[in-house]
Amino acid sequence: MFVQIKRMVVTEGNAEKIVERFGAKKDSPSLLEQQPGYIDKQVLVKKVRRGDEEVLIMVRWESEEAWKNWEKSPEHIAGHKANAGKPKPDYFVESGQEVYYVKG
């Protein structure tokens, strides 16, 4: 199994905007959920009292190859091209991505 974790830090009060975008259940599966090798997705919000908020999007894949196929798929690339050149929302502080092999 292979896991992709996206980390987004946003200003106070804006974590739900990320949850709505990445975690909302829809009437039909998303393009991501229809990809061969996709297992599931979890959206986690770090418990904070005040200040910047952290959201993790964890996507589990059957293999690294399945994840790579999604990353280079025309649907995924088109989604990024649609946002190319647009400024990030002002509530974004930082973001990043890591990938992991599940070993146990």
Q: Is the pLDDT of residue 1 over 70?
A: yes
pLDDT in tens, 37-76: 999 999 999 999 999 999 999 999 999 999 999 999 998 8
Q: Which residue has the tokens 């599931």?
A: 40
pLDDT at residue number 61: 98
In percent, how much of the chain has pLDDT > 70? 97
Q: Is the pLDDT of residue 20 over 70?
A: yes
What are 100's strand-pairing partners? 3
Q: What is the pTM of this model?
A: 0.88
Query: What's the pLDDT score for residue 43?
Result: 95
